[in-house]
């Protein structure tokens, strides 16, 4: 369990935010994290500030999973995570590269472990399960390699304007946006260039045909 206690900036006084267990009586179950209050910051705001950070959530999860949780110091761990976050903000990706490389090694070990166990098994269902797990580890290894390659050699991003030219009077240009009403104005200009249509009286046409006959 991760307990929190809050102190002022001067560290002259200490206020317990979440009362931890007696660490001397149960040292393997509880680690205490120190939270420093900012100037004029309320206790509830300090707790919300820390609990809302991904570093804090990471620490709580890590202490639940790692086998070193008996001796881990959450306050020192938080300081290390803060330093790593600041390094990423300064465009230092060495930690990300090291993480991906170590994960790649672990995934490769998992792939080989599942593949060897599948080759030694004689039960078809177990062979199928272990083979699927091996291939999943292999797929994750490939994805990790691609992520590491993209991190080391990022692809440049380019924006290309496309122009489509059709045969005939119609042309579509994707790079030039059309203004509202431009299509209507173009249709009006096209009609204006056409010769006027002659009006024909249907009755006169009928009389003309009958006189011809």
One DSSP character per residue, 44-108 reads HHHHHHHHTSHHHHHHHHHHHH-TTTTT--HHHHHHHHHHHHHHHHTT--HHHHHHHHHHHHHHH
In contact, 151 and 98? CB cutoff 8 Å: no
Residue 34, helix vs strand vs coil: strand
β-pairing verdict for 171-173 and 163-165: antiparallel
Distance of CA 103 to the CA centre of its chain: 19
**Tens digit of each residue's pLDDT, the chain (213 residues):** 455 555 544 443 333 333 444 444 444 345 677 777 888 888 888 888 888 888 888 888 887 787 766 677 788 888 888 999 999 999 899 999 999 999 999 999 999 999 999 999 999 999 999 999 999 999 999 999 999 999 988 877 666 666 555 555 555 555 555 555 555 566 666 556 656 555 555 556 555 555 555
Query: Rounded CA gap, 54 and 83, in Å?
Result: 13
- Could you give the CA distance from residue 29 to residue 22 in angstroms, rounded to a whole number? 10
Q: Which residues pair with 172 in a beta bridge?
A: 164
Q: The whole model's pTM is what?
A: 0.55
Torsion sign across C-alpha atoms 177, 179, 181, 185: negative
Q: Does residue 20 contact residue 5 with C-beta atoms inside 8 Å? A: yes
């Amino acid at each position: 369990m991760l307990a929190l206690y809050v102190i002022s900036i001067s560290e002259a006084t200490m206020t317990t935010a979440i009362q931890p267990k007696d660490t001397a009586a149960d040292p393997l179950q509880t680690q205490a994290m120190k939270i420093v209050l900012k100037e004029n910051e309320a206790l509830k705001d300090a707790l919300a500030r820390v609990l809302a950070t991904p570093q804090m959530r990471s620490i709580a999860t890590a202490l639940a999973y790692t086998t070193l949780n008996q001796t881990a110091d959450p306050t020192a761990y938080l300081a290390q995570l803060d330093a790593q976050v600041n390094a990423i903000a300064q465009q230092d990706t060495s930690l990300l590269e090291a993480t991906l490389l170590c994960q790649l090694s672990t995934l490769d070990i998992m792939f080989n472990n599942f593949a060897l166990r599948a080759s030694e098994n004689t039960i078809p269902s177990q062979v199928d399960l272990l083979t699927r797990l091996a291939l999943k580890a292999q797929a994750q290894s490939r994805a990790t390699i691609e992520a590491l390659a993209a991190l080391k050699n990022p692809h440049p991003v380019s924006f290309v304007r496309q122009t489509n030219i059709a045969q005939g009077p119609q042309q579509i240009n994707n790079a030039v946006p059309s203004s509202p009403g431009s299509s209507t104005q173009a249709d009006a200009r096209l009609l204006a260039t056409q010769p006027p249509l002659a009006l024909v009286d249907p009755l006169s046409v009928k009389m003309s045909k009958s006189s011809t006959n």
